[in-house]
Amino acid sequence: MACCLKDELLCSICLSIYQDPVSFGCEHYFCRKCITEHWSRQELHGTRDCPECRRTFADPHLSPSLKLSNIVERYSAFPLDAILNAQRSSYPCKDHEKVKLFCLTDKSLVCFFCDEPALHEQHQVTTIDEAFEEIQREMKEQLATLQDSEKGHTEALQLLQRQLTETKMIGVAHETVSRKGSIQIQPSRGFYCIVMHDGNQYSACTEPWTRLNVKSKLEKVGVYLDYHKGLLIFYNADDMSWLYTYRENSPAKVFPYFSPGQSHANGKNVQPLRINTVRL
């Protein structure tokens, strides 16, 4: 169990326990320093990849993993090596070998016949077998947490990738929005849009998404912007029915934003996106 958990906590670059673990778009983790140095060596080639799966990224964003950091911290605090050594080694007092005690605080064997009792008076002392079983149980729980976290991370990534390829995310965007890497279509990121997703479902890209009450497939979507009043209105241009309204005064310039997405026809769009202007 100890070896299994430790293997899960090793950075594949430095082969040591994670230091400030981060991820950046795939299900693999690395020390922040290790992956940064790895990418610095790739700058001449103009690409950045994952040393595990070799997936390339144009402008990856390093996201810290708080849960993994906590697991690493808990593992580092385990006195496991000291307990294993205590089980294999001889006791400090040959006359009192039956007194199998271990001080979790000092990470050392204890013999109350030979040691000064005051040395461990306020310490956490238990039998060696109980200490080993308790720590092994905690490590098993930590390993399960790590595996669940990795599974959740992978599922979230797959959902994001599916949303990016199956949605058609129309609206406006600030001139300062990020144009590289994985883009999150949210008002806090400077995007004000509605999307078609999962077939014929429609939502406004709020945080979280707001499902739109659309009874039939949208063929034409109208976008009305009153910049000075901070109004952005989406409507069905076929019957002029209202879809959604964003209300926010933007200090920056905004521009039209379109994303045709991809269908399931070998990654190509079956129907093209057509842009029509309205004369007022």
pLDDT digits (tens, 9 = 90+) for 122-133: 777 777 777 777
Q: Is the pLDDT of residue 110 over 50?
A: yes
For the chain, percent of residues with pLDDT exceeding 90? 16
SS (H, E, C) the chain: CHHHHHHHCECCCCCCECCCEEECCCCCCEEHHHHHHHHHCCHHHCCEECCCCCCEECCCCCEECHHHHHHHHHHHHCCHHHHHHHHHCCCCCHHHCCCCEEECCCCEEECCCCCCHHHHCCCCEEEHHHHHHHHHHHHHHHHHHHHHHHHHHHHHHHHHHHHHHHCCCCEEEECCCCCCCCCCCCHHHCEEEEEEECCCEEEECCCCCEECCCCCCCCCEEEEEECCCCEEEEEECCCCEEEEEEECCCCCCEEEECCCCCCCECCECCCCCCCCCCCC
Across 199-211, average pLDDT: 88
Rounded to two decimals, the pTM is: 0.42
Distances (CA, A) of 77 to 2, 22, 29, 106, 180: 13, 21, 21, 12, 40
CATH fold for domain 80-132: Double Stranded RNA Binding Domain (3.30.160)
210: pLDDT confidence band, cut at 50, 70 and 90? very high
Which of 156 and 235 is assigned the larger pLDDT? 235
Q: Is the pLDDT of residue 269 over 90?
A: no
Burial class for 253, CB neighbours closer than 10 Å (0-12, 13-18, 19+): exposed
pLDDT in tens, 22-37: 888 777 899 999 999 9
Kindly report the average pLDDT of the chain as a whole number. Answer: 76
111: pLDDT confidence band, cut at 50, 70 and 90? low
User: Does domain 168-257 match CATH 2.60.40.1120?
Assistant: no
As a whole number of angstroms, the distance between CA 31 and CA 93 comes to 43
Give me the residue spans of the domains in the chain.
2-76, 80-132, 168-257
Q: Which CATH architecture has domain 2-76?
A: 2-Layer Sandwich (3.30)
In contact, 20 and 33? CB cutoff 8 Å:
yes
